[in-house]
């Protein structure tokens, strides 16, 4: 009932029982083929094994039930596969491998399949951010710090910030090393004699995974890097969703989702439902990342419990990140921007957000301390009188001795106090274009 909200149909399928099972069978098939290439098993036996490495020939539930007694599903899987092949092929099923080789390599294959989906959605989301950044480079809104109005900025710069964060986490995800695992019972491949590394090379090539320097049974840096990269992606997606939720508040009204959600009780509600789902998914991610990181210390050559603790958190982490990435893509593509509300909210303080600019323009003649104190006094008058900072500046003799009317107008014009905002947008767009062309 809840799964569809927090993942995607494609990611759910690619991380489901059948997907994991097929990935494990892909390992067994590629292992037999690599050993045939090395002359360890016959080509006929390898072909026989491969012919039966199809998930539809197996019962994942039954394998799972039998896994309890050995703390691994691989023993049951190998037994079932052995029963399916011909008598001459049976001695060669799972030859030289151990359960962890199968599951770790399967984890890499499952991850690769899901990361393809995630990266596609992230790149599309980044392109939407680039579009919004360019379209709204001159759309002025108030920046907020500690949830309070701060200084003028542009919505384009906000979107450029989203873009840069997405691009950087995409690059991090692309760098995650997905490598085959093959070390046998204790990481020596002793049962294969001197042919072990040749089989490792062939196995890596057939599965399209990186060939590790040596087996990584209890070196979990790959899993940790994957968890960290997915966690960083999730954090960026959560930040975008949070910004949209805040901008979409009734009292703010600067953004609305293209397809807002309703309420079971209040017909008038226009809830940021997509942002809510992204937020809910990304809030669950740090705990999963922590679980995978906490499993890194693993004893000797093979772990007792720590390794087994990774399987479900990794699966859930992939699903949640995929769901958040897809929802973010949808959110940004339909996002509705309301410049008129941005302008209205910028005027709520009647110019006080330009106090820094006014003080800076006065400091050359009055000195920094006196300028700050004078503008602070005028800000208090603005609040007390319900006037505007511009009006108070124009009415103050000490100001007019230094600044002309045009100077005061410029000092209290939000569009004239954006600093390098446009330049930063250009830099973000240029960097993004460079990544797109790789």
pLDDT in tens, 194-213: 999 999 999 999 999 999 99
**C-alpha closest to that of 229 among 118, 357, 75:** 118
Q: Provide the CATH number for the domain formed by 2-341 in this structure.
A: 1.20.200.10
pLDDT of residue 81: 98
Mean pLDDT confidence for 214-242: 98
pLDDT at 7 > cutoff 70: yes
pLDDT of residue 264: 61
**C-alpha closest to that of 15 among 45, 50, 52, 60:** 60
Catalytic residues: 263, 302
Would you state the structure tokens that stand for residue 197, as one six-digit string?
């590394």
User: Which tens digits make up the pLDDT trace of 163-198?
Assistant: 999 999 999 999 999 999 999 999 999 999 999 999
Name the residue ranges covered by the structural domains of the chain: 2-341, 349-416
For residue 438, name the pLDDT band (cuts at 50, 70, 90): confident
On whether the CB atoms of residues 362 and 403 are closer than 8 A, the answer is yes
Half-sphere exposure of 301 (CA within 13 A, CB side): 12
For residue 270, name the pLDDT band (cuts at 50, 70, 90): confident
User: Which tens digits make up the pLDDT trace of 90-107?
Assistant: 999 999 999 999 999 999
pLDDT at 262 > cutoff 80: no
pLDDT of residue 117: 98
pLDDT of residue 1: 84
pLDDT of residue 174: 96
User: Which tens digits make up the pLDDT trace of 68-80?
Assistant: 999 999 999 999 9
pLDDT of residue 265: 67
Q: Provide the CATH number for the domain formed by 349-416 in this structure.
A: 1.10.40.30
Mean pLDDT confidence for 106-131: 98
Percent of the chain with pLDDT over 90: 95
* 248 DSSP 8-state letter: T
Angle at 153 between CA 150 and CA 156, to 5 degrees: 145
Please enumerate in sequence order all residues whose Cβ is within 8 A of that of 154, keeping only pairs 6 or more positions apart, or say none.
136, 137, 138, 139, 140, 141, 418, 421, 422, 425
For residue 271, name the pLDDT band (cuts at 50, 70, 90): confident
Average pLDDT for the chain: 96
């Amino acid at each position: 009932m809840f799964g569809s909200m927090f993942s995607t149909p494609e990611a759910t399928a690619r991380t489901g029982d059948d997907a994991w099972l097929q990935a494990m069978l892909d390992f067994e098939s590629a292992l037999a083929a690599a050993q045939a290439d090395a002359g360890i098993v016959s080509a006929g036996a390898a072909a026989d094994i491969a012919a039966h490495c199809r998930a539809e020939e197996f019962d994942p539930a039954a394998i799972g039930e039998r896994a309890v007694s050995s703390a691994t599903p691989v023993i049951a899987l190998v037994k079932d596969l052995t029963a399916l092949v011909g008598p001459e092929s049976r001695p060669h099923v799972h030859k030289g491998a151990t359960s962890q080789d199968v599951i770790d390599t399967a984890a890499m294959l499952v991850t690769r399949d899901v990361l393809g989906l995630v990266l596609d959605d992230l790149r599309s989301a980044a392109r939407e951010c680039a579009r919004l950044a360019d379209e709204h480079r001159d759309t002025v809104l108030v920046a907020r710090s500690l949830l309070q109005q701060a200084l003028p900025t542009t919505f384009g710069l906000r979107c450029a910030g989203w873009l840069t964060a997405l691009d950087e986490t995409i690059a991090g995800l692309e760098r995650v090393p997905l490598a085959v695992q093959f070390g046998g019972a204790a990481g020596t491949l002793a049962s294969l004699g001197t042919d072990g590394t040749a089989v490792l090379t062939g196995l890596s090539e057939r599965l399209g995974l990186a060939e590790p320097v040596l087996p990584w049974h209890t070196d979990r840096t790959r899993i940790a890097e994957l968890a960290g990269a997915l966690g960083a992606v999730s954090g960026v997606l959560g930040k975008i969703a949070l910004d949209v939720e805040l901008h979409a508040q009734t009292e703010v009204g600067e953004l609305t989702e293209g397809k807002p959600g309703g309420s079971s009780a209040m017909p008038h509600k226009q809830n940021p439902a997509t942002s809510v789902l992204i937020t809910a998914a990304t809030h669950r991610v740090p705990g999963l990342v922590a679980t995978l990181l906490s499993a890194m210390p693993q004893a000797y050559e093979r772990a007792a419990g720590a390794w087994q603790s990774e399987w479900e958190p990794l699966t859930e982490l992939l699903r949640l990140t995929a769901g958040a990435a897809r929802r973010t893509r949808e959110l940004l593509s339909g996002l509705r921007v309301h410049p008129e509300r941005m302008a209205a909210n910028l005027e709520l303080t009647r110019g006080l957000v330009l106090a820094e600019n006014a003080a800076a323009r006065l400091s050359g003649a009055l000195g920094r301390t006196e300028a700050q104190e004078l503008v602070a006094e005028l800000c208090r008058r603005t609040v007390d009188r319900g006037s505007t900072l511009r009006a108070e500046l124009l009415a103050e003799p000490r100001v007019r001795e230094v600044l002309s009317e045009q100077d005061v107008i410029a000092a209290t014009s939000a569009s004239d106090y954006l600093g390098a905002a446009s330049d930063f947008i250009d830099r973000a767009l240029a960097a993004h274009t460079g990544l797109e062309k790789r």
